[in-house]
Structure 1
């Protein structure tokens, strides 16, 4: 019997979603985990399941608890309360070197006096592998990260991207159950970082391993991860696939933290099936939005709208166009593939609208101090109660 298709939002990288299967057993389980340092609580009652072969991202600002959570899994810290299990084994009291995990640090921590091949061979040697097996494993890892011709070089003779790949090969040479990546691409320039993100995804799927990455880079997490856990002040705020995090944020914090967004304070005036009529100080006309929540008239809510979900025009829309803001161009950011317009409304509030630059030449481009009209459809935004 064919499996029913799971309804999804946005792009799907692969058909892999064990978290939607009630019978699936998690590989890693955090059970009501707390970590305190004196009076400071870094991780506050976190419960989280991560599945085998999942590429999972812990995302949040500095000090949110994501690295502390990873360090507890690695064994560098012990939970103050709760427990962590890996493949059904309680990790309480298990030292780092006896856990089937490996960690790749932001600094890479390569041995400077060793060649690339010897760096990769270090783990298998420590594990007591035979010489022939070690040589075969090193050859396999070099081919995996496309560094076969660099085997005899020392780390200082490599570029930043090459050193990153050596560190990755060394980290997976012992075939741990879980690879922990702590800001692994932070030292790379933007273009190389973007290229390496896709290499990481390909490598993870080739190895069939579970990757857990800690990052504060939203774009990085959105690119590589099957699911993202957004953290704030030691608490999990939302755990979902990237498209759901972006298109259906659970809270105002998540909407604001992930990408650009306009957050508009509103009051519910009326409910009409799946539509809400919202009053806001930004326009004298009520907004009509589609929402499946349980808001009722009189509720204070926020409407979150991404800049790319809105349209900007020099011409006034017709009455059927629906939701509309009138304003004046305050600033423009030209980014090549798109332009970002900052529109000041009569009340003084500024909103962002982004538009793709589909043509090299525009007859009458929108420019500073132009009067413009910003429109959006009823289903373009998300209504948030918290």
Structure 2
């Protein structure tokens, strides 16, 4: 992965913020060999992870993978069975939630229905004994931050889902925690509002510089917002990386299949060519497939899988004869999504693959239709070899 990152950046990045690449940088949060067991169930297994100050970090994974348990251990609602949780150099063992410099925003928002917006935001500040004048100043600051000044006197029942989400966010930020924990923060919003709020959260976090740790099972949400993502599975971390690294260079088959759409083609290693590309024998192609994946060390005859994203494949009725990684098949299904058209192709070997094509024009002359014979291709560096 390091060699690949030096050679070419994987995916788009939104900033040059990358303290994890600095050997001298000290993490703000450290999970050291943490295990959490509930009776006979092990929720987190010997997990180690570093999160840096000012980072927007996402814990991503399917239900039951341990991501919420990890966040609750950081918040102090659960204690590790073994291992340490360290924040700012302090071992948090035995430190109660109210004495930790973190705040948590829950999926349900947990607003007080009998309090208006201002009083909801002020609640935690009053509990801490802050002076009334300072509370008022802080509440006004938070209202401006989340653009709810006009709604200060409304009650939660009078707000939309997106507005309630902002109130909960303002209340969590009012105490100025070092770390803000967000558990499925956008799950209650509709699709369009969720997409808009993702960018608002990114801008807000960037302006504040507060470390955000978000738990989500929504891969698109994680890919949009995070500086880095830790993908979890069955209590351990499969891979940590930027969204581009997770998507373009998955370490395992689980990562490739969980994050985004992917075609997985089984094959066997058949050596390398003169420029160092791997030759892979597969049932999907008459010739060897040629894959440029320098990060993998493979043995001849080794069984592997090739992962290729649908949008990286080329489709046509007849492609040039010298097209790399040529496959042939028949159109099985077509899905028109507006911005994309998705084709499901049944290859001659019987396997089904997906191909996505961007709809850059409103009108299509002689479009590919059901039951047509087509050819598929992809360039050697578009695919990734998965040996595990």
TM-score calculated relative to the size of structure 1? 0.97
CA shift for structure 1 position 362: 1.1
CA shift for structure 1 position 158: 0.4
The match for 1:304 among 304, 307, 313 is: 307
Q: Which residue of 1 aligns with 2:344?
A: 342
Q: Which residue of 2 aligns with 1:167?
A: 168
The match for 1:313 among 316, 327, 335 is: 316
Within 2, Cα distance between the matches of 1:20 and 1:231?
21
Within 1, Cα distance between the matches of 2:240 and 2:363?
43
Q: Is the 8 A contact 1:34 1:45 kept in 2?
A: yes
Within 2, Cα distance between the matches of 1:44 and 1:348?
39
Within 1, Cα distance between the matches of 2:198 and 2:79?
31
Q: Secondary structure at the match of 2:326?
A: strand
Q: Which runs of 4+ in 1 moved over 3 A?
A: none
Q: Which residue of 2 aligns with 1:42?
A: 43
The match for 1:274 among 272, 276, 279 is: 276
Within 2, Cα distance between the matches of 1:82 and 1:22?
23
Within 2, Cα distance between the matches of 1:120 and 1:18?
32
1:75 equivalent to 2:51? Answer no
CA shift for structure 1 position 283: 2.0
Q: Secondary structure at the match of 1:201?
A: helix
Unaligned runs of 5+ in 1: none
Within 5 A, what are the aligned runs for 1:1-386?
A: 8-272=9-273, 273-292=275-294, 293-315=296-318, 317-386=319-388
- Please tell me the root mean square deviation across aligned C-alpha atoms, in Å: 1.0
CA shift for structure 1 position 296: 2.5
CA shift for structure 1 position 319: 2.3
Q: Is the 8 A contact 2:285 2:325 kept in 1?
A: no
Q: Is the 8 A contact 2:56 2:213 kept in 1?
A: yes
Within 2, Cα distance between the matches of 1:150 and 1:291?
54
Deviation string for 1:305-361 (max 9, x for gaps)? 00000011012x222212111100000110000100000012221000000011111
Q: Is the 8 A contact 1:70 1:180 kept in 2?
A: yes
Within 2, Cα distance between the matches of 1:57 and 1:299?
34
Unaligned runs of 5+ in 2: none
Within 2, Cα distance between the matches of 1:102 and 1:169?
11
Deviation string for 1:174-229 (max 9, x for gaps)? 00010000001000000000000001001111111000000000000000000000
Within 2, Cα distance between the matches of 1:76 and 1:34?
15
User: In terms of mean alpha carbon deviation, does 281-290 or 352-361 score higher?
Assistant: 281-290
TM-score calculated relative to the size of structure 2? 0.97
Within 2, Cα distance between the matches of 1:214 and 1:346?
42
